Amino acid sequence: MELITRKTVAEKLAAHLRHELSLDSLVAWAESALMDSEFDPAHLSTIRDVVARIGVADVRAFGLTWNDCEQLLAQLGYSAQVSIVAR
């Protein structure tokens, strides 16, 4: 059984923001994590709440905007930064 930490969740959100992980895949991961994984007991409620929020992101009424991601990352103790580079 996988132990989900704040870093684990932040990395999943980062992969989604970098377009390396689709919204459907992110939601599927969150749903699976809620059912089959353990959360770091030191941050249980925060991790559980953030993962649960990600798990409903495929429902139109909830979605997952950039602002949502920023807020979720902040709850986990992280922040998002944007880097613009030439192609």
Q: Is the pLDDT of residue 1 over 80?
A: no
Assess contact for 36 and 3: CB atoms under 8 A. no
Q: Determine the average pLDDT of the residues in 17-40.
A: 96
Instruction: In whole angstroms, give the CA distance from residue 14 to residue 82.
Output: 11
Instruction: In whole angstroms, give the CA distance from residue 22 to residue 16.
Output: 6
Its pTM surpasses 0.85: yes
Of the chain, the percentage scoring pLDDT greater than 70 comes to 100
Q: Determine the average pLDDT of the residues in 76-83.
A: 93
Which residue ranges make up each domain of the chain? 3-75
Instruction: In whole angstroms, give the CA distance from residue 41 to residue 87.
Output: 43
Assess contact for 48 and 8: CB atoms under 8 A. no
Assess contact for 30 and 47: CB atoms under 8 A. no
Assess contact for 50 and 73: CB atoms under 8 A. no
State pLDDT tens for residues 31-48: 999 999 999 999 999 999
